[in-house]
């Protein structure tokens, strides 16, 4: 039942994104922004398959004449903002977060994120961006652990740039190569 819903959601979301990007190429910035934000914002990232959707968007970009830069810029800004808000929530509420109903169901992921962050420190922000289960929880626990703003933002921004380029440019190049 849940698998069927997830399969339906992913198929419809991918179809909507590819059709919308192909029909309205100027919408790639907000599309990439929303996908990357939802992939990076704690809580929402467990529901939205953002990585898969960004890979699909990259394929559409490569198969058409849509510009890659607006999509990459949207993904960068969306992922930076999603992580920053997650960090702020953790920084503002600290360990009270696990008492909120929304976060109580993700207590195991938060605990794993805390262990990961305490092992790797600021590098966990960078590494976590490329590891699905940690992508949204590590910024939250970095805030909970009172990581200062600028070290967080440096790791957040550099990883967001590399992540966005990898998820959009490589599928775009592959699609162009396959169509030539």
Q: What is the count of structural domains for the chain?
A: 1
Residue 125 belongs to some domain of the structure = yes
Q: Identify the domain containing residue 97 by its residue range.
A: 29-179
- What tens-digit pLDDT sequence spans the chain (180 residues)? 545 545 555 567 777 777 877 787 888 999 999 999 999 998 777 677 788 889 989 998 998 888 899 999 999 999 999 999 999 999 999 878 878 877 787 888 889 999 999 999 999 999 999 997 788 899 999 999 999 999 999 999 999 999 999 999 999 999 888 887
Tell me which residue of 157, 155, 158 sits closest to 147, measured CA to CA.
155
Residue 106 belongs to some domain of the structure = yes
Residue 88 belongs to some domain of the structure = yes
The pTM assigned to this predicted structure is 0.88
Residue 41 belongs to some domain of the structure = yes
Residue 121 belongs to some domain of the structure = yes
Residue 137 belongs to some domain of the structure = yes
Annotate 100-167 with DSSP letters as a single string: SHHHHTTHHHHHHHHHHHHHHTTHHHHHHTTSGGGTTHHHHHHHHTT--HHHHHHHHHHHHHHHHHHH
Residue 96 belongs to some domain of the structure = yes
């Amino acid at each position: 039942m849940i698998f069927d819903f997830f399969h339906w959601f992913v198929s419809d979301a991918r179809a909507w994104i590819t059709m919308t990007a192909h029909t309205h190429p100027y919408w790639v910035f907000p599309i990439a922004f929303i996908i990357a934000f939802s992939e990076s914002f704690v809580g929402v990232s467990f529901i939205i398959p953002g990585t898969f959707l960004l890979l699909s968007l990259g394929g559409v970009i490569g198969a058409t004449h849509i510009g890659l830069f607006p999509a990459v810029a949207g993904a960068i800004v969306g992922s930076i903002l999603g992580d920053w808000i997650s960090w702020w929530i953790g920084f503002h509420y600290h360990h009270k977060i696990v008492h909120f109903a929304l976060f109580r169901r993700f207590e195991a992921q938060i605990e794993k994120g805390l262990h990961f962050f305490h092992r790797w420190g600021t590098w966990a922000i960078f590494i976590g961006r490329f590891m699905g289960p940690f992508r949204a929880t590590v910024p939250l626990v970095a805030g909970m652990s009172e990581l200062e703003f600028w070290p967080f933002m440096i790791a957040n921004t550099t990883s967001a740039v590399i992540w966005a380029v990898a998820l959009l440019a490589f599928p775009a190049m592959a699609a162009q190569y396959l169509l030539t």
